[in-house]
Amino acid sequence: MNDSILWKSVADELRESPDSLHECSIDSEDSEDDFGFVLGIQPRPDPKSRHPPPEGIQELWKIFIENIDPLTKVLHVPSLWPAVNKAANNIEVIPRAFEALMFAIYSAAVMSLGDDECKSRLNAPRKTLLSRYIAATKRALARAKFMGSTNLVVLQALALHLLSVRDSYEPRAIWSLTGVAIRIAQGMGLERDGVHLGLAPFETEMRRRIWWQIKTHDFRTGELCGIAKFQDLHTGSDTPKWPTNVDDDQLYPGMPSPATSSKVMTDSVLIALKGELLNFAAARIADFRRQGKAPGAWELHMRDNDTTEVDRLLEEIEETLETKYIRYCDPSRPLHLFTMLMARSSMNIIRLLSHHPRRWANFEQAPMSEQLWVWNVCINLLEQHTMLLTNPQLNAFAWHAPYFQQWHAVIHVLGTLCNGSLAVDYGKAWALISKIYQGTPEMASDMRKPIHVAVGNLCLKAYRKHKAVLEKNKSAVPPPTPGFIVKLNEQRDSIKAKQSQAKTKKAEVSRTLNQASTGDKDVPSGPGITIQGNPPSSIPAHSITHGTDETLLGTQEESFWLTQGLDSSILNNINDMMDFDFDFSPNTDLSLEEPSSHTIDWDQWDTWLAQSNILRPLTPDQGS
């Protein structure tokens, strides 16, 4: 059998161009239309060396099936496995599109693991493998000319790539790249249901899964960029239907008729559940549009009569989820438990949106019953989220939780703890906050994210209030300070010390530059600064050094700009970059100090959330 026949059979049902199927990855000539710059890649050698050995490929495939496939279903595992198995032993003849998909599978599988499990199962650190396979995926997508592709396999690879990089890239980059995926999908006609295009049942179902996976990803990435969730959710007569609740073994290429949605649990239950929730959101947004309201801004439209209507609709969707899905869930099975948590968490998110505390002028003006109701909803959300993060039974799906952190619930709980006006179980709240920090350690370590800094500040203020109450109660023995509080305090002390050092160094450099520009021959050398010779008015960069061999100003071009009358803000910004080896550079509206007011400014929190990754650099392309 010819080596390309198997690859062709994988794509035949997807109506692929015959030419693309024979573009094996050994054809490595450069092209000006690969659009690799969109993915941020650098030229690299032939990707063959990036594939793991056959046994490694099979292990990565197994991890993908266990951890990624149940939550996405963008691949049809039964029909794809023969091609993956053959590829593992025929690396040299893999078509470009399929190679991109294989690397995307590798990187998604590695992304879903913790570092210890990665070392145990794949014999290498997670960071090393993830960087390697993400870089290889980007190069493979570029070689497959993904921007102009009509190959569904390429789109599947891009959809998985988005999952692999979403925790590493800043949200605006992910949102933009997701937009590219949507445009590619639209170019393939995925925004219309396959039934209206006369496509085969198997292809129609797979296109629905891929389309809604990309769209739901777009909704979340947009939300993290400050865009109202679901605002561009449109449904019409030709819109792709929601994925069918059916086991994968009931789908196969060449099937004569569409599969019937099952009334019991299947391996596609989670994406079917998402469809129910999207249907609810679409109906609500359509109602907003009919009323002339902005779609998506749920919490801004709620009035007393509106919340009553939403509560009624909530009861309806909750009953639907309970009768169609939750009642059939077996909590001893990880996917079933995950589905139950996602269903109930989604209901609580809608409840929080419909009674959002941003409608309150302050805590004091909100009725106590409303405060207690919102508090309980937020506590339930945190309980459900911490279970996703920490329950050993859900370890395979824990990768999904951090990207869906319930920030508004965290903020409201901490704000209430600061206020201290509710007679509730504060100990339970602190236990949940502690679990969130334990399950998401970057919240305490990654100070490039304004939302992490702001939540940390609020957390420290709330804990100080909590500690004061405990100390006032002489009968209670104060518990030891939680580890995450110690970490937050140490982080801030370290940053403040380095900021102070940077300011001192900046002042020394500025003084030296001023003296040098006036021709002063007796220029003193501050600590760590060496002036070589008698500097002229325009100082070459190499003549000012930090320590013994590090260049302080970098290049001659920089020294020119520093001495050509630029305003002081530019000089200050350049000096601020010197020796800035710590993780956080505070912007103009965010400091390391704890908030002084008990009132939560939700608009400001929205801004910090939208900037949640703006200072975080892209993961370096360290594939070499």
DSSP SS3 for 622: coil
pLDDT for residue 278 is more than 60? yes
Question: Greater confidence, 258 or 562?
Answer: 258
Give the pLDDT mean for 278-282.
88
- DSSP 8-state symbol, 481: P
Nearest alpha-carbon partner for 243 in 212, 266, 215, 267: 212
Assign 3-class secondary structure to 583-609. CCCCCCCCCCCCCCCCCCCHHHHHHHH
Residue 505 CB coordination number (10 Å):
20
Return the pLDDT at 534.
45
pLDDT of residue 622: 40
Q: d(Cα 174, Cα 441) in Å, to the nearest integer?
A: 22
| Spatial separation of the C-alpha atoms in residues 519 and 515, rounded to whole Å | 7
Tell me how many helices (H) and strands (E) the chain has: 24, 3
Residue 339 tokens, joined: 């589905």
Report the C-alpha gap between 403 and 405 in whole angstroms.
Answer: 6
Model pLDDT for residues 403-455, shown as the tens digit of each residue: 888 899 999 999 999 988 788 888 999 999 999 999 998 888 877 778 888 89
Band (pLDDT 50/70/90 cuts) for residue 46 is low
* Cβ proximity of 609 and 224 under 8 Å: yes
Backbone φ/ψ region at 538: left (φ over 0), alpha (ψ -120 to 50), beta: beta
Task: Please give the pLDDT value at position 132.
Answer: 95
Model pLDDT for residues 175-205, shown as the tens digit of each residue: 999 999 999 999 999 999 999 999 999 999 9
Q: Is 584 or 322 the better-scoring residue by pLDDT?
A: 322
DSSP 210-267: HHHHHHHHHHHHHHHTTPPTTTT----TTSPPPPP---GGG--TT-SSPPPPPSS--T
Q: Provide the pLDDT for residue 541.
A: 38
Picking from 92-101, 193-202, 306-315, 392-401, which range would have the lowest pLDDT averaged per residue? 306-315
Is residue 612 over pLDDT 60? no
The pLDDT assigned to 321 comes to 93
| Residues paired with residue 544 on neighbouring β-strands, in sequence order | 531
Does pLDDT of 15 surpass 90? no
| Average pLDDT over every residue of 464-482 | 80
pLDDT level of residue 598 (50, 70, 90 thresholds): low
Segment 13-29 shows an average pLDDT of 43
Please state whether 420 falls in left (phi above 0), alpha (psi between -120 and 50) or beta.
left
How confident is the model at residue 519, as a pLDDT? 59
Decide if 418 contacts 462 (C-beta within 8 A).
Answer: yes
Q: How far is CA 345 from the centre of its chain?
A: 18
The residue-averaged pLDDT of 363-375 equals: 87
Shortest CA distance to 208 belongs to which of 72, 342, 317, 101?
A: 72
End-to-end CA distance of the chain: 35
Q: Which helix (H) or strand (E) holds 529?
A: strand 529-531
Average pLDDT of every residue of the chain: 79
Confidence of residue 326 (pLDDT cuts 50, 70, 90): very high
Q: What is the mean pLDDT of residues 338-349?
A: 94
Q: Among 330, 433, 327, which Cα is nearest to 382's?
A: 433
Amino acid sitting at position 606:
D
C-alpha span between 538 and 598 (Å, rounded): 52
pLDDT band at 573 (very low <50, low <70, confident <90, very high): very low
Most confident of 325-329, 503-507, 536-540: 325-329
Q: Which residues pair with 530 in a beta bridge?
A: 545
Q: Calculate mean pLDDT across residues 396-402.
A: 93
Instruction: Quote the CA–CA distance of 35 and 619 in Å, as a whole number.
Output: 19
Residue 420: strand, helix, or coil: coil
Amino acid at 62: K
State the pLDDT at residue 514: 78
Query: Is 618's pLDDT higher than 50?
Result: no
**At residue 396, what are phi and psi to the nearest 5 degrees?**
-65, -25
State the Cα–Cα distance between residues 52 and 237, nearest whole angstrom: 46
Long-range CB contacts (within 8 A, 24+) of 359-365: 359/299, 359/302, 362/598, 362/599, 363/415, 363/416, 363/419, 363/421, 363/598, 363/599, 364/421
**What pLDDT score does 570 carry?**
33
* Whole-number Å distance between alpha carbons of 574 and 387: 45
Residue keyed to tokens 């500025």: 510
